[in-house]
C-alpha cells in the first residue's frame, strides 16, 4: 500500500509557471517611447498655454490680479477693435479667394498640355518664406511707378487711355503776356489776325519735354488767321538769349493745347506743332488765348496701394499669391479621384461644361474644398509676417491684425497681460475651426 500511494503521488501534475503579461510589456514600451514626445509637448505647448491663461488675468507687472480687465480691453481698445475687424475681413476673403483660384487652376490645368509646368509655377511661391514674400510685395506696391510693379502697370494702362500732361511745372516767366486763371493761363489782351502771338513759358526740365519737341520757331503772320508760338523761354542771363523770343537753343512746347475764348465760350482751338507754332482760324480774332489747366495737370502717379484704404486688400492679395498654389495642389489631388464616368455621363445627358463643373465636379469636391478652406482659415487667423513687413508705419494701424497687435502689446507697449489675453482669444477662435476640420477628416476616413 505505501508503495501504491507513493506512485499515485508521483503522478500529480506540477503547478503551471506564471507568464509575464504581453499587453503590460507593450504598454510599458509604448510609454517609454512616447515619454520624450510627451515631455516636449508639455514643455513647448501645454505649459506655455497654461502660463498664458494665468498671465492674462494678471496686471502688466505680473504682481497683481487684474480679473477680466485684460479681456475687456479686447473690445474697448481701438487698436484691438481694428485688428478684430481686419481679422474678420481676412477670414472671409483670403481663404475664399485662395480656394476659388485653386479650384479654377486645378480644373483648367487638367486640359492644358503644359498643366504640370503651370502647377509648378503657381505652387512655387509656397517655397518662399512669409518674410521674403513681404519684402517682395513691399516693393511691388511701392507708390513710385519707376519702382513698384503694380503702379507701373496701372499707370501704363491709365496713360494708354488718358495721356498725362508733359508740362505740369510750366508757368509764365518774366515780363510774360500771360496771367494765371482757373488753373491755366490766359493772354492779358485780345489777339488779332495777322499779328503773331508769343506765349513763352518756363519751368519744364529739358529731359521732361515731349519726345517730339523740336527747336522753337517764331510764328509767321497769315492773313485771316491768328498765329503764334509757345516754347520754353529759357534765358540764362544778360546777353545770353532773348527774353520773349525763340532762340536756337530753346525747344517748342509740342502738343500744348491753345483755346480762343470769347465771352467765356471757346470759339476755336489748336495744338502746338513740334516747334511750338500754332494756327487758329479767323473766329479767334478779338478773343483771349487760353492755355487750359489740362496742359498743366500733374502726371498720374498710380494708386496708393499701401494707403489706409487699400492696405488690407493689398496684403490679402500677397497672401493669395502665396497660398493659391497650396489650394490648387490639394484640390487637384481630390479631382484625380473623381470618377470620370460621372462627368462623361453628365456630358452625354446634354450638360454643358459649366453645368458639369457646377453640378457634378464641385459637389464631388466639396469635402476637399471644405478641408482646404478651413485649413486656410486657421492659417489667416495667425497671419503676422505679411502685415508687419508690407504695411508702412503710416498705415500699419489700419492694417492691424490680432497677431500683430499681440506683438505690439507684448513688446512695444509693455502690456503682457493684454497680449496674453489676445493669445488666449486667438486660441479660442482656432479651436472650433480645428475641431471641425478633424471631425470632417475622421468622417472621410470612415468612408
Tens digits of residue pLDDT in 224-237: 999 999 998 876 55
| Residue 10 CB coordination number (10 Å) | 7
Residues in the chain: 447
pLDDT at 20: 53
Instruction: Give residue 392's pLDDT band: very low, low, confident or very high (50, 70, 90).
Output: very high
CA–CA separation, 275 and 272 (whole Å): 8
Q: What is the mean pLDDT of the chain?
A: 86
Are 84 and 402 spatial neighbours (Cβ–Cβ below 8 Å)? yes
pLDDT at 242: 79
CA–CA separation, 226 and 283 (whole Å): 9
Does pLDDT of 15 surpass 80? no
Instruction: Give residue 11's pLDDT band: very low, low, confident or very high (50, 70, 90).
Output: low
Instruction: Give residue 17's pLDDT band: very low, low, confident or very high (50, 70, 90).
Output: low
Does pLDDT of 16 surpass 70? no
DSSP strand pairing (288-291 vs 184-187): antiparallel
| Residue 425 CB coordination number (10 Å) | 18
φ, ψ (nearest 5 deg) of residue 198 = -110, 130
pLDDT at 277: 94
pLDDT (mean) for 350-362: 89
Please give the grid coordinates belonging to residue 212: 517730339
Side-chain-side CA neighbours of 147 within 13 Å: the count stands at 8
pLDDT at 1: 46
Instruction: Give residue 178's pLDDT band: very low, low, confident or very high (50, 70, 90).
Output: very high
pLDDT at 241: 67
- Selected residue with higher pLDDT from 88 and 435: 88
The answer to pTM > 0.85 is no
Range of lowest pLDDT (14-23, 243-252, 313-322): 14-23
Amino acid at each position: 500500500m505505501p508503495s501504491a500511494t507513493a506512485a499515485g503521488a508521483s503522478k500529480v501534475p506540477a503547478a503551471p509557471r506564471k507568464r509575464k503579461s504581453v499587453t503590460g510589456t507593450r504598454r510599458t514600451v509604448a510609454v517609454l517611447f512616447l515619454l520624450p514626445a510627451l515631455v516636449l509637448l508639455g514643455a513647448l505647448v501645454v505649459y506655455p498655454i497654461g502660463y498664458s491663461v494665468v498671465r492674462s488675468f494678471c496686471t502688466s507687472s505680473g504682481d497683481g490680479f487684474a480679473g477680466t480687465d485684460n479681456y475687456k480691453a479686447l473690445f474697448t481698445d481701438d487698436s484691438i477693435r481694428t485688428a478684430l475687424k481686419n481679422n474678420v475681413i481676412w477670414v472671409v476673403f483670403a481663404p475664399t479667394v485662395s480656394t476659388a483660384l485653386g479650384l479654377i487652376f486645378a480644373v483648367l490645368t487638367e486640359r492644358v498640355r503644359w498643366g504640370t509646368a503651370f502647377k509648378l509655377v503657381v505652387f512655387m511661391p509656397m517655397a518662399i518664406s512669409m518674410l521674403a514674400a513681404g519684402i517682395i510685395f513691399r516693393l511691388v506696391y511701392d507708390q513710385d511707378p519707376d519702382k513698384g510693379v503694380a503702379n507701373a502697370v496701372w499707370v501704363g494702362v491709365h496713360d494708354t487711355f488718358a495721356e498725362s500732361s508733359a508740362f505740369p511745372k510750366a508757368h509764365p516767366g518774366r515780363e510774360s503776356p500771360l496771367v494765371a486763371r482757373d488753373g491755366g493761363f490766359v493772354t492779358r489782351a485780345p489777339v488779332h489776325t495777322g499779328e503773331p502771338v508769343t506765349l513763352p513759358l518756363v519751368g519744364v526740365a529739358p529731359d521732361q519735354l515731349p519726345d517730339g519737341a523740336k527747336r522753337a520757331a517764331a510764328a509767321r503772320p497769315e492773313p485771316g488767321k491768328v498765329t503764334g508760338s509757345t516754347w520754353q523761354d529759357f534765358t540764362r542771363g544778360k546777353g545770353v538769349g532773348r527774353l520773349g523770343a525763340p532762340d536756337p537753343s530753346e525747344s517748342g512746347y509740342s502738343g500744348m493745347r491753345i483755346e480762343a475764348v470769347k465771352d467765356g465760350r471757346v470759339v476755336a482751338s489748336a495744338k502746338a506743332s513740334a516747334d511750338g507754332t500754332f494756327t487758329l482760324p479767323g473766329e479767334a480774332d478779338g478773343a483771349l488765348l487760353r492755355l487750359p489747366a489740362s496742359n498743366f495737370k500733374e502726371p498720374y502717379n498710380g494708386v496708393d496701394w499701401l494707403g489706409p484704404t487699400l492696405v488690407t486688400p493689398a496684403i490679402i492679395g500677397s497672401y493669395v499669391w502665396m497660398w493659391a498654389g497650396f489650394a490648387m495642389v490639394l484640390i487637384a489631388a481630390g479631382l484625380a479621384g473623381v470618377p470620370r464616368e460621372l462627368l462623361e455621363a453628365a456630358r452625354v445627358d446634354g450638360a454643358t461644361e459649366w453645368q458639369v463643373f457646377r453640378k457634378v465636379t464641385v459637389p464631388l469636391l466639396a469635402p476637399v474644398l471644405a478641408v482646404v478652406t478651413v485649413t486656410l482659415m486657421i492659417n489667416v487667423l495667425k497671419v503676422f509676417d505679411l502685415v508687419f513687413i508690407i504695411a508702412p508705419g503710416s498705415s500699419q494701424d489700419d492694417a492691424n491684425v490680432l497677431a500683430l497687435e499681440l506683438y505690439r502689446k507684448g513688446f512695444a507697449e509693455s502690456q503682457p497681460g493684454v497680449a496674453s489675453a489676445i493669445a488666449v482669444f486667438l486660441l479660442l477662435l482656432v479651436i472650433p475651426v480645428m475641431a471641425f476640420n478633424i471631425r470632417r477628416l475622421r468622417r472621410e476616413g470612415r468612408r
